[in-house]
Structure 1
Amino acid sequence: MAGGWSRDGAEQEQIESTVEDALQRVRSQLPTGESLTHCEECDEPIPQARREAIKGVRLCIACQSERDKQRTTYSGYNRRGSKDSQLR
Protein backbone atom coordinates (compact mmCIF):
# COMPACT_ATOMS: atom_id res chain seq x y z
CA MET A 1 0.00 0.00 0.00
CA ALA A 2 2.14 2.80 -1.28
CA GLY A 3 0.98 6.33 -0.89
CA GLY A 4 2.05 9.80 -1.71
CA TRP A 5 4.97 9.87 -4.16
CA SER A 6 6.04 6.25 -3.74
CA ARG A 7 5.03 3.51 -6.12
CA ASP A 8 3.43 0.19 -5.19
CA GLY A 9 5.88 -2.24 -3.61
CA ALA A 10 8.27 0.47 -2.47
CA GLU A 11 7.88 -0.47 1.20
CA GLN A 12 8.95 -4.07 0.57
CA GLU A 13 11.93 -2.91 -1.47
CA GLN A 14 12.94 -0.62 1.38
CA ILE A 15 12.68 -3.45 3.90
CA GLU A 16 14.74 -5.75 1.68
CA SER A 17 17.39 -3.06 1.19
CA THR A 18 17.62 -2.49 4.94
CA VAL A 19 18.02 -6.23 5.58
CA GLU A 20 20.63 -6.56 2.82
CA ASP A 21 22.59 -3.60 4.24
CA ALA A 22 22.61 -5.24 7.68
CA LEU A 23 23.74 -8.57 6.23
CA GLN A 24 26.58 -6.91 4.34
CA ARG A 25 27.68 -5.10 7.49
CA VAL A 26 27.72 -8.31 9.53
CA ARG A 27 29.45 -10.31 6.80
CA SER A 28 32.18 -7.69 6.57
CA GLN A 29 32.93 -8.22 10.26
CA LEU A 30 33.39 -11.99 9.98
CA PRO A 31 36.95 -13.21 10.53
CA THR A 32 39.02 -14.35 7.54
CA GLY A 33 42.24 -16.24 7.06
CA GLU A 34 43.55 -19.15 9.05
CA SER A 35 42.12 -19.90 12.49
CA LEU A 36 44.36 -19.67 15.53
CA THR A 37 44.87 -22.69 17.79
CA HIS A 38 44.91 -20.49 20.92
CA CYS A 39 42.85 -17.43 21.81
CA GLU A 40 44.70 -14.18 21.12
CA GLU A 41 43.20 -12.62 24.28
CA CYS A 42 43.53 -15.27 27.00
CA ASP A 43 45.77 -17.90 25.30
CA GLU A 44 43.27 -20.70 26.01
CA PRO A 45 43.09 -23.43 23.35
CA ILE A 46 40.36 -22.96 20.73
CA PRO A 47 38.51 -26.26 20.14
CA GLN A 48 39.05 -27.90 16.75
CA ALA A 49 35.29 -27.90 16.05
CA ARG A 50 35.15 -24.10 16.51
CA ARG A 51 38.17 -23.59 14.23
CA GLU A 52 36.51 -25.70 11.54
CA ALA A 53 33.10 -24.06 11.92
CA ILE A 54 34.35 -20.46 11.78
CA LYS A 55 37.06 -19.69 9.25
CA GLY A 56 39.65 -17.31 10.68
CA VAL A 57 38.50 -17.57 14.31
CA ARG A 58 40.85 -15.74 16.66
CA LEU A 59 39.06 -15.85 20.03
CA CYS A 60 37.75 -18.57 22.32
CA ILE A 61 34.02 -18.69 23.00
CA ALA A 62 34.30 -16.88 26.35
CA CYS A 63 36.36 -13.99 24.95
CA GLN A 64 34.17 -13.72 21.85
CA SER A 65 31.05 -13.60 24.01
CA GLU A 66 32.55 -10.82 26.12
CA ARG A 67 33.55 -8.85 23.02
CA ASP A 68 30.04 -9.25 21.58
CA LYS A 69 28.53 -7.86 24.80
CA GLN A 70 30.78 -4.81 24.65
CA ARG A 71 30.01 -4.08 21.02
CA THR A 72 27.48 -1.30 20.68
CA THR A 73 24.19 -2.01 19.00
CA TYR A 74 23.85 -0.80 15.46
CA SER A 75 21.14 1.80 15.14
CA GLY A 76 19.48 0.98 11.86
CA TYR A 77 18.18 4.36 10.90
CA ASN A 78 16.45 4.57 7.57
CA ARG A 79 18.86 5.95 4.98
CA ARG A 80 16.38 5.60 2.16
CA GLY A 81 14.41 8.70 3.16
CA SER A 82 10.87 7.40 3.25
CA LYS A 83 8.12 9.70 4.48
CA ASP A 84 7.75 7.55 7.60
CA SER A 85 11.40 7.94 8.58
CA GLN A 86 11.28 11.69 7.99
CA LEU A 87 8.36 12.09 10.36
CA ARG A 88 10.24 10.55 13.31
Structure 2
Amino acid sequence: MGDIADFANDLVQESLDQALAARNAAKSPFVNHSFLLCEACDDPIPEARRIAQQGCTLCIDCKNLDDLRRARYAR
Protein backbone atom coordinates (compact mmCIF):
# COMPACT_ATOMS: atom_id res chain seq x y z
CA MET A 1 0.00 0.00 0.00
CA GLY A 2 1.42 3.36 -1.05
CA ASP A 3 1.82 6.27 1.28
CA ILE A 4 1.83 10.01 0.69
CA ALA A 5 5.52 10.07 -0.28
CA ASP A 6 4.93 7.47 -3.00
CA PHE A 7 2.00 9.47 -4.32
CA ALA A 8 4.10 12.65 -4.35
CA ASN A 9 6.92 10.86 -6.19
CA ASP A 10 4.46 9.60 -8.79
CA LEU A 11 3.14 13.14 -9.34
CA VAL A 12 6.64 14.56 -9.71
CA GLN A 13 7.61 11.81 -12.16
CA GLU A 14 4.47 12.44 -14.21
CA SER A 15 5.25 16.16 -14.34
CA LEU A 16 8.81 15.45 -15.46
CA ASP A 17 7.61 13.06 -18.15
CA GLN A 18 5.16 15.66 -19.46
CA ALA A 19 7.83 18.37 -19.48
CA LEU A 20 10.27 16.15 -21.38
CA ALA A 21 7.59 15.15 -23.87
CA ALA A 22 6.76 18.82 -24.48
CA ARG A 23 10.43 19.66 -24.90
CA ASN A 24 10.96 16.84 -27.39
CA ALA A 25 7.84 17.87 -29.32
CA ALA A 26 9.16 21.44 -29.59
CA LYS A 27 12.49 20.37 -31.07
CA SER A 28 13.07 21.06 -34.71
CA PRO A 29 12.64 18.02 -36.95
CA PHE A 30 15.67 19.15 -38.91
CA VAL A 31 19.08 17.92 -37.80
CA ASN A 32 21.74 20.60 -37.58
CA HIS A 33 25.09 19.29 -38.69
CA SER A 34 28.16 20.47 -36.83
CA PHE A 35 31.24 21.81 -38.53
CA LEU A 36 34.38 19.68 -38.44
CA LEU A 37 36.58 22.77 -38.17
CA CYS A 38 36.03 25.88 -36.09
CA GLU A 39 34.88 28.80 -38.23
CA ALA A 40 36.93 31.23 -36.11
CA CYS A 41 40.32 29.53 -35.79
CA ASP A 42 40.14 26.52 -38.17
CA ASP A 43 41.09 24.09 -35.40
CA PRO A 44 39.23 20.77 -35.38
CA ILE A 45 36.09 20.63 -33.24
CA PRO A 46 36.22 17.57 -30.94
CA GLU A 47 33.78 14.81 -31.88
CA ALA A 48 32.27 14.75 -28.39
CA ARG A 49 31.34 18.44 -28.74
CA ARG A 50 29.89 17.92 -32.22
CA ILE A 51 27.69 15.12 -30.89
CA ALA A 52 26.65 16.89 -27.68
CA GLN A 53 25.98 20.27 -29.32
CA GLN A 54 24.53 19.59 -32.75
CA GLY A 55 24.98 22.49 -35.12
CA CYS A 56 28.06 23.90 -33.38
CA THR A 57 30.38 26.02 -35.48
CA LEU A 58 33.02 26.98 -32.91
CA CYS A 59 35.58 24.93 -30.97
CA ILE A 60 35.39 24.97 -27.19
CA ASP A 61 37.99 27.72 -26.73
CA CYS A 62 36.44 30.03 -29.32
CA LYS A 63 32.95 29.39 -27.93
CA ASN A 64 34.14 30.30 -24.42
CA LEU A 65 35.65 33.54 -25.75
CA ASP A 66 32.45 34.28 -27.66
CA ASP A 67 30.36 33.69 -24.53
CA LEU A 68 32.61 36.03 -22.53
CA ARG A 69 32.32 38.74 -25.17
CA ARG A 70 28.54 38.40 -25.33
CA ALA A 71 28.26 38.50 -21.53
CA ARG A 72 30.39 41.63 -21.36
CA TYR A 73 28.35 43.49 -23.96
CA ALA A 74 25.00 42.27 -22.64
CA ARG A 75 25.24 44.59 -19.63
| TM class, shorter-length | 0.5 to 0.7
Name stretches of at least 5 consecutive residues in structure 2 with no aligned partner.
Answer: 1-30
The alignment partner of 1:65 has SS state of: helix
Aligned partner of 1:6 in structure 2 is: none
Instruction: For residues 4-28 of structure 1, give each alpha carbon's deviation from its aligned partner in whole angstroms, at most 9, with x where no partner exists.
Output: xxxxxxxxxxxxxxxxxxxxxxxxx
Q: Tell me the percent identity.
A: 43
| Whole-Å separation in 2 of the counterparts to 1:69 and 1:37 | 23
> Which 4+ stretches in 1 moved above 3 angstroms?
72-75
Aligned partner of 1:43 in structure 2 is: 42
Aligned partner of 1:70 in structure 2 is: 69
| Whole-Å separation in 1 of the counterparts to 2:71 and 2:60 | 19
* Residue 33 of structure 1, CA deviation: 1.6
Aligned partner of 1:54 in structure 2 is: 53
| Whole-Å separation in 1 of the counterparts to 2:69 and 2:46 | 23
* Residue 72 of structure 1, CA deviation: 3.5
State the superposition RMSD in angstroms.
1.9
Name stretches of at least 5 consecutive residues in structure 1 with no aligned partner.
Answer: 1-31, 76-88
Please give the TM-score of this superposition, normalised by the length of structure 1.
0.45
The alignment partner of 2:34 has SS state of: coil
Please give the TM-score of this superposition, normalised by the length of structure 2.
0.53
Aligned partner of 1:26 in structure 2 is: none
The alignment partner of 1:71 has SS state of: helix
